[in-house]
């Protein structure tokens, strides 16, 4: 891959690293490369539908092997529901008039019912990246806020797969914060076994 400046001249690696195509002084934040428009025409699915292709990329159908026996987030949610003895279904809440907030599972499918359980799933296999850790933290914040607004007495649960268990193991700030906020963490094993993270 060749990088060029705004005039079409090829840039050397030294120029790219220095951020200085003209050989002058370095200026922090200076980008010597002209931005180019992005072509999204190759993101369509086989039938030309953008939404269908995007859905395939984000669904649990293509989850790595071992992700709750390759059943993805749905399998994790089903295992947690069986463990709790309740049917968990996805639900989107509308709060404060126009704020939409979705959870992966709740025991209250009916819009008029107040939930007793709110669940968000963080599943996957392999080495965790900081993005996944940050999503877990954001999901905890979301659960805490939603519970306070919609159902103050509800049980807030993060359902995670084995790779996430080390993030919520005792001795770190995150599990301590989750405990203090009343957010429970259940770890779902590859075969669908469920255990408390603490």
Report pLDDT for 76.
96
Those residues with Cβ within 8 angstroms of residue 149's Cβ, 6 or more apart along the chain or in another chain: 95, 96
68 is a domain residue: yes
22 is a domain residue: no
Report pLDDT for 11.
56
Per-residue pLDDT in tens (0 to 9) along the chain, 198 residues = 455 555 666 655 445 444 444 544 434 443 333 333 333 233 333 333 333 323 222 333 333 334 444 458 999 999 999 999 999 999 999 998 899 999 999 999 888 889 999 999 998 888 888 999 999 999 999 999 999 999 999 999 999 999 999 899 999 999 999 999 999 999 999 999 999 987
How far CA 77 is from CA of 103, 158, 174, in Å, comes to 11, 10, 22
Report pLDDT for 9.
67
98 is a domain residue: yes
92 is a domain residue: yes
Structure token digits, residue 51: 């939404």
pTM of the entire predicted model: 0.64
Residue 66's Cα: distance from chain center in Å?
Answer: 18
CATH number at residue 182: 3.40.1350.10
84 is a domain residue: yes
Other CB atoms within a 10 A radius of the CB of residue 67 amount to 23
53 is a domain residue: no
13 is a domain residue: no
Report pLDDT for 8.
63
Phi, psi for residue 157 in degrees, rounded to 5: -130, 135
Distance CA 76, CA 69 (A): 9
167 is a domain residue: yes
Place of tokens 């050397």: 12
Report pLDDT for 126.
83
Which domain, by its residues, includes 175? 63-196
Distance CA 193, CA 98 (A): 38
Phi, psi for residue 183 in degrees, rounded to 5: -105, 120
Report pLDDT for 111.
81
Distance CA 66, CA 188 (A): 11
Number of domains making up the chain = 1
How far CA 102 is from CA of 13, 82, 149, 172, in Å, comes to 46, 21, 13, 28
């Amino acid at each position: 891959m060749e990088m060029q400046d705004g005039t079409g001249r090829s840039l050397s690696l030294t120029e790219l690293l220095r951020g200085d195509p003209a050989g002058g002084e370095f200026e922090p934040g200076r980008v010597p490369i002209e931005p180019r428009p992005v072509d999204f025409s190759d993101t369509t699915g086989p039938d030309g539908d953008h939404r269908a292709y995007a859905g395939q990329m984000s669904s649990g159908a293509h989850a790595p092997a071992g992700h709750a026996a390759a059943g993805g987030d749905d399998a994790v949610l089903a295992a947690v529901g069986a463990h709790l003895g309740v049917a968990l279904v996805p639900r989107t809440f509308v709060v404060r008039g126009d704020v939409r907030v979705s959870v992966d599972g709740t025991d209250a499918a009916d819009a008029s019912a107040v939930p007793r359980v709110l669940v968000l799933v963080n599943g996957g296999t392999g080495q965790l990246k900081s993005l996944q850790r940050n999503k877990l933290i954001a999901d905890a914040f979301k659960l805490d806020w939603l519970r306070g607004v919609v159902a103050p007495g509800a049980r807030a649960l993060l359902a995670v797969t084995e790779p996430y268990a080390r993030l919520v193991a005792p001795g770190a700030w995150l599990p301590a914060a989750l405990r203090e906020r009343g957010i429970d963490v259940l770890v779902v094993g590859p075969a669908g076994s469920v255990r408390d993270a603490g």
